[in-house]
Structure 1
Amino acid sequence: MSLRRLVWNDAERRLRAPFRLIATVVVVVAVSLVIGVGIGTAFSDVLGSSALVNLFVSVVLAGATGIGGFVAARYVDRRTVADLGFGIDRAWGVDFVFGLVLGGALMSAIFAVGVSVGWIAIDAVGFGIDRLVGAAALLSFFVSVGIAEELLLRGVVLTDIAEGMRWRFDVSTAIVVGLLLSSAIFGIAHLTNPNASVASTLSITLAGVMLGLGYVLTGDLAIPVGIHISWNFVQGGVYGFAVSGLDFGTSLVETTEQGPDLVTGGPFGPEAGLLGVGAMLLGMVCIALYVRFRYGEVRFDPEVTVPELRWWQ
């Protein structure tokens, strides 16, 4: 095989999967840096002076990886928006609402169990204007994070890996490999977060499997985007838990984790503890049951491994 054929897929008129992934990383980093520098320069005189300005900057910076992922999908993968898992229609909206409800319910279950056995203490509950504004700001931030990370990790990375594997393995194996590798990347990406550890990295990897399951069973990002947004928001904006090691300092309910870190996750948040792991496993079961109820069967969507490229050709 010539070097050109090794790198380039003539039939699809694009780079082969391993090189697309490398190019995606380069594009995402470059776009994030450009946006970061641009935002920093444009708002250098007013940063810190206004909560609204800080919110806008945070939302844009959080979404920078998603913007980079979309640019990579457009010019490197040459894929359609629908093929990225955003074929938005009524069915997509129904699945999205299910994801929102499930993410919030799972985090509420963690809170309820923790409080009932004394692992989590409620310090205060308030709905004053400051708390409501803070919650709204966090919701905006987590919407940006949820869309960006799902587009990049599931819509681009998982799909590229699965597409690359389909030539050597059957569809199910290719999707499982894509699901596991993209989830591992998701876990490793959080290793630099405050209070991260090997345990938190493994649990975030499991969270990636839960999120990815909603994608590979439906072929759309509706369920994982919904779960990602509501899980994070209810975790940090409602119950005041740390979100993957990040303490945002504002929530409708103030709590203190006083149980063993092995169970509660300690300063990293519930995701690093057994409560979080249990919720993720329960979430996978709920996703599978929902898909069976809504679509009549539980199976990997083979279209995850088949790119839709015609729009860009």
Structure 2
Amino acid sequence: MRLVWQLLAVAAVGMIGGQVAMGLEGNWLATLVVGLLAAALTLLVYWGVVRLTERRPVTEVVGKGSVSGLLIGLVAGIALFAMVIVNIYFLGHYQINGLGTVVGAIGLIGFMAAAAVTEEVLFRGVLFRVIEGWAGTWITLVLTSVLFGLMHLPNAGATAVGIGAAVIAGAMFAAAYAATRNLWLPIGLHFGWNYAASAIFSTEVSGAGTPTGLLDTTITGPAMLTGGSFGPEASPYSIVFCFLTALVFLWLAHRRGRLVPLRKGAKRVESGTTLPQ
């Protein structure tokens, strides 16, 4: 039942915050403020419901490493997406026409923060963490990554390649959580990736109808290289970079002894007493 209560609580807050932020599109200041408040409230609700249902210190969202984890994830996420764009640019399919909207890029901070926090808390904080105690790291990584990919199925321009790319991205975020055993790195990584795609390079984010960001850009060329209407996330460069990054995080998790075997280690992961934090 704890899984149900945690999912319901976080999903309710995230959905309400997301809907409000979407309704404020065009008002950059309100979007910024509401989005950041929704992200903070989601984390607070997660901390509260986990404390209530599991009666343990919620080490994955408190304690040392929060600022450094967010910053490292942010830089890594922006850098990864920048490498995707650089490859598409040198093929001649990405063109910068001029400046877009600075205030729009600022407003997207709130919108993308709310989205990144909600999705990471739901998929990594609740689903991955709880299921891992039953099924182990590898099965859980595959299962939750597939669910994360399928969540993008209703988005415009969704194709088999796009959904597959979202699955790989979900595996990267899950691996980041497994390597650190906290949510700060995957939240920063998720936010940095989405913010770079939307607010910096002004590209489509998973076919979600993303507004223009800092740059006024045009992407042309075959969908098999650019990702088409789903966005560069569905490009082969995105898939390769996310896959390689996931492997690095999984290697770190293995080296740190943080991979949980099947039907073993549930208490160790949740109590934080055996696995290093």
Normalised TM-score (structure 2): 0.81
On the 8 A contact 1:99/1:225 being kept in 2, the answer is yes
Match of 2:258 among 280, 285, 300: 300
Partner of 1:86 in structure 2?
61
> Are 1:243 and 2:201 an aligned pair?
no
On the 8 A contact 2:66/2:184 being kept in 1, the answer is yes
* Amino-acid identity (%): 28
Task: Measure the CA separation in 1 of the matches of 2:130 and 2:14.
Answer: 21
Alignment of 1:113-262 (within 5 A): 113-125=87-99, 131-165=101-135, 174-262=136-224
Cα RMSD for the two superposed structures: 3.3
Task: Measure the CA separation in 1 of the matches of 2:153 and 2:49.
Answer: 24
Provide structure 2 residue ranges, at least 5 long, that are not aligned to the other structure: none
Q: CA deviation at 1:53?
A: 3.3
Task: Measure the CA separation in 2 of the matches of 1:92 and 1:53.
Answer: 26
On the 8 A contact 1:199/1:272 being kept in 2, the answer is yes
Q: CA deviation at 1:59?
A: 5.0
Question: Are residues 277 and 21 of structure 1, via their aligned partners in 2, closer, same or farther at CA, if it must alter by over 3 Å?
Answer: same
Task: Measure the CA separation in 1 of the matches of 2:75 and 2:25.
Answer: 34
Partner of 1:75 in structure 2?
52
Task: Measure the CA separation in 1 of the matches of 2:5 and 2:55.
Answer: 12
Partner of 2:86 in structure 1?
112
On the 8 A contact 1:218/1:301 being kept in 2, the answer is no
Question: Are residues 160 and 53 of structure 1, via their aligned partners in 2, closer, same or farther at CA, if it must alter by over 3 Å?
Answer: same
Greater CA deviation, 95-104 or 208-217? 95-104
Q: CA deviation at 1:57?
A: 4.3
Greater CA deviation, 138-147 or 261-270? 138-147
DSSP-derived class of the 1:306 partner: helix
Greater CA deviation, 20-29 or 139-148? 20-29
Question: Are residues 152 and 250 of structure 1, via their aligned partners in 2, closer, same or farther at CA, if it must alter by over 3 Å?
Answer: same
On the 8 A contact 2:17/2:114 being kept in 1, the answer is no
Alignment of 1:10-21 (within 5 A): 19-21=1-3
On the 8 A contact 2:18/2:115 being kept in 1, the answer is no
Letter in 2 for 1:102: A
Greater CA deviation, 250-259 or 99-108? 250-259
Letter in 1 for 2:258: F
Letter in 2 for 1:204: A
Instruction: Select the structure of larger CA radius of gyration.
Output: 1
Letter in 2 for 1:87: V
Provide structure 1 residue ranges, at least 5 long, that are not aligned to the other structure: 1-18, 166-173
Q: CA deviation at 1:140?
A: 2.0
DSSP-derived class of the 1:226 partner: helix
On the 8 A contact 1:65/1:152 being kept in 2, the answer is no
Task: Measure the CA separation in 1 of the matches of 2:76 and 2:247.
Answer: 11
Partner of 1:7 in structure 2?
none
On the 8 A contact 1:70/1:151 being kept in 2, the answer is no
On the 8 A contact 1:102/1:283 being kept in 2, the answer is no
On the 8 A contact 2:11/2:122 being kept in 1, the answer is no
Match of 1:99 among 65, 73, 78: 73
Question: Are residues 66 and 246 of structure 1, via their aligned partners in 2, closer, same or farther at CA, if it must alter by over 3 Å?
Answer: farther
Letter in 2 for 1:255: T
Q: CA deviation at 1:34?
A: 6.8
Letter in 2 for 1:97: L
